[in-house]
Amino acid sequence: MINSRVFFFADYQGSRQNAPAPVLASVAPEAWRRGDLSSVTATITDPLTGLAFPGNQIPVERISAPARGLVNDVANYPLPNRTVPGGVLNNFVGDTLLAIRAHQGDVRLDWSQSTNNKFFGRYSFARYEDRRDEQPFPLFLTARNDQPFDNVGFNWNRVFGSSIINEFLVGYSRTTVITETLDWAGVGDANALYGIAGGQPIAGLSQIQWGSSLTLPGAIATDSETLAKTYQLNEKLTWIRGRHGVKLGGQFLRYNQRRFYAGNNGRLGFLTHTGAFTGFAFSDFLLDQVAGKGRGGGDPDDPWTHLQNRISLFAQDDFKVRQNLTLNLGLRWAFTSPLVEKNNRQSNFDLTSGQQIFAEDGGLEDRALYRRTTTAGSHASGSLGAPATASSSAAAMASPSLWRAPARTSACR
């Protein structure tokens, strides 16, 4: 408190947590890495001849270069360090480290400049992040979740004489949710290191799906980022005159919603080995017999962005007819604009012609593929008695409806 006119408030809360723990994994035994699968009960078949490999042993020279590079890189894909029944399941023990960081706080300043002018400003923030800074072995990739939030507001109350009060508010909020794959050990471009074709947009290794009770190295990397920004303006004027309490005002909201998603196949993708070619998934991997593969797409620097405005105006009169009867009269108009994509990357379907319609520059109907319709309605209610009140109101609204009812709406072309 300063001179009974300025009030200041601030708070902060934070926490830092590191949670190490041992964790079990299953890695390929040394014999498997050189093609000796004699410990496997399934018959290992040569996909070139259809005949079984003698003794379930694949000649070393038949092992593909990418497979040989990965399984021989014991610095990033280590050998078993535990003796277990069967020699495979949970044959490796390593460490994991979960790091959690949380911070939040608020600052507010109130200023009574005079009896007629009062101001306040406020800022709030929150930061939350959790990440795995360590896993059992380097090719066991991790992820980071980050959720920052910011909100700011400014308010001005102005008194005009004894009967008029005006209130003006400006606000802004920003919320982000990020999921990101981490190359925590600094392996780098492992696909290129081992000779896996196709390149990669981020560091790490495409997930190697090889079954056989083994822990899967690499990651699909279904990264995503969602950013929602809201801009807000509020205006309200109150006028007291005789038996009337009149309120006039409006609100403007601007939404900017940004979204990136790498797709279910992720930024690094996957290579699947099922045993369909040799009778055992790991031997399919050794011989480069891939049953399926995939990789997502998208550019986090060029996300899909939806834009929308919401505008509303209102007028209200609280009319005190007599001591035990007050009429609440009101009118509200609201408009919600159809969603448009910043770069027109959305489409719809015309069920009549079967054609796909793409958004293009122009008006709302061109960009959002909507036609606007207007609906109006009214509602009145009332009751008599002391101290009950009677009220009535009327409302009109402009709202969007589908241009053509779609069978499917696509977010991106």
**Cβ contacts of residue 122 below 8 Å, gap of 6+?**
106, 107, 108, 109, 151, 152, 153, 154
Helix and strand totals (H; E) in the chain: 5, 18
Tokens 């042993």 belong to which residue?
A: 57
Pairing, β 164-182 against β 207-209: unpaired
> What are the pLDDT digits (tens) for 216-263?
999 999 999 999 999 999 999 999 999 999 999 999 999 999 999 999
**CA gap 223, 260 in Å, rounded:** 8
This prediction's pTM = 0.79
Distance CA 233, CA 196 (A): 54
Mean pLDDT of 48-52: 96
Look up residue 164 and give its two tokens: 């008029």
Identity of the amino acid at 402: L
Q: What are phi and psi of 329, to 5 degrees?
A: -105, 135
For residues 170 and 232, the answer to whether their CB atoms sit within 8 Å is yes
Q: How far apart are CA 270 and CA 219, in angstroms?
A: 7
Per-residue CA distances from 222 to 179, 192, 304, 312 (Å): 8, 20, 16, 39
pLDDT at 400: 32
Residue 343 identity (one-letter amino acid): N
| Domain range list for the chain | 6-302
The pLDDT tens digits for 308-327 are: 999 999 999 999 998 899 99
